[in-house]
Amino acid sequence: MGASIGIVTAEGISAGLVDANRKISGRILQYPEHGGVADDLTTLPANKIAEKLAEIILEVAAGQHVDSVGLAFPGVIRGGVVEESPNFPQMKGQQISKAVCTHLEAHGQSPKVVVSNDADVVAAGIAATRNQLDHLIRVWTLGNGIGYGRYPSGTEIWEGGHTVVTMDPKEKYCSCGGVGHLEGIMGYRSMRLRFLDLEPEEIFEQAHEGDARCMDFVKLWHRALAAATASSVHMEGPGKFFITGPSARYLNLSMLHRYMHEMVMMSTLQGYVFEIVPGGHEIAIIGAAVSAAMEQPATVTAAP
């Protein structure tokens, strides 16, 4: 793998140059910079987002040749096209790869540009940093939205944050508008809509202090994650599930295991384990760069 840039788009944009050893070379560029003020990405027109991404890529490249660029974007991403992105509705149907390439070529850069789902690149980053590119990696990313990342990603959708985990018709807090979704329970937006008077961190703080309403929700939060994970186990088998993101700090592994045990009863499927991975953009940036640089996914063996 030659020099590659990984760039991750969420509430902001983070980018870095990744070298042949799959390590970030130099500093991570962030937009907005710490303490800075930026345009709300969710309100920027699609062409302006593509222009901003290209601008950041050129700044990270700093004039040197770059073989490939990996863009991580939330939503259903296939063939360089954002087919669906509830968090960025203006990007639906946009050929983001082509648009970024056009901007880069105007400045003398013509790298291969690959667009991937933002959770999938986290899985790829975990695989790359642990020298496990020949393993199946599954990861939950817990934050403003809920992502389910998988390496190798293949051609499937893997929008695990929209897994249906309840049949209650009142559970319609998901950003996509769907009823009963995992993100409609665990996502920041859904928690704020559900409580109105509390921020997500306050919900967990008050649950720890014994507030009954918050304690009941924390149980629901864990049960929802267990239900979605159990669905993955029943579809793809047991193995390790990584968990990362800002909300991973709220996770009670004992509670999660207890609910999983209630949902996965077949003994041959009970070999699942969980590992919390520290947050930060580094793993996602590396994963985006590696995903772009690799021409073919590695052969998959049993999960570690």
Whole-angstrom distance, CA of residue 228 vs CA of residue 58:
39
CB proximity list for 186: less than 8 A, separation 6 or greater: 142, 146, 221, 224, 225, 247
247 neighbors 222 (Cβ within 8 angstroms) = no
pLDDT at 240: 95
Tell me the CA end-to-end span of the chain in Å, nearest whole number. 24
Banded model confidence at residue 34, pLDDT cuts 50, 70, 90: low
Strands 137-142 and 146-151: antiparallel
Banded model confidence at residue 158, pLDDT cuts 50, 70, 90: confident
- Closest alpha carbon to 127 in 100, 160, 150, 101: 150
Q: Which residue has the higher pLDDT, 85 or 185?
A: 185
Q: Which residues of 85-117 are buried (b: 16+ CB within 10 A; e: fewer)?
A: bbbbebbeebbbbebbbebbeeeebebebbbbb
Q: Tens of pLDDT along 253-282? A: 999 999 999 999 999 999 999 999 986 789
Whole-angstrom distance, CA of residue 80 vs CA of residue 115:
5
Which pTM was predicted?
A: 0.89
pLDDT at 104: 94
Complete domains list, the chain, with CATH: 4-117 (3.30.420.40), 125-276 (3.30.420.40)
Structure tokens, 126: 């975990």
Q: Does 304 have pLDDT greater than 80? A: no
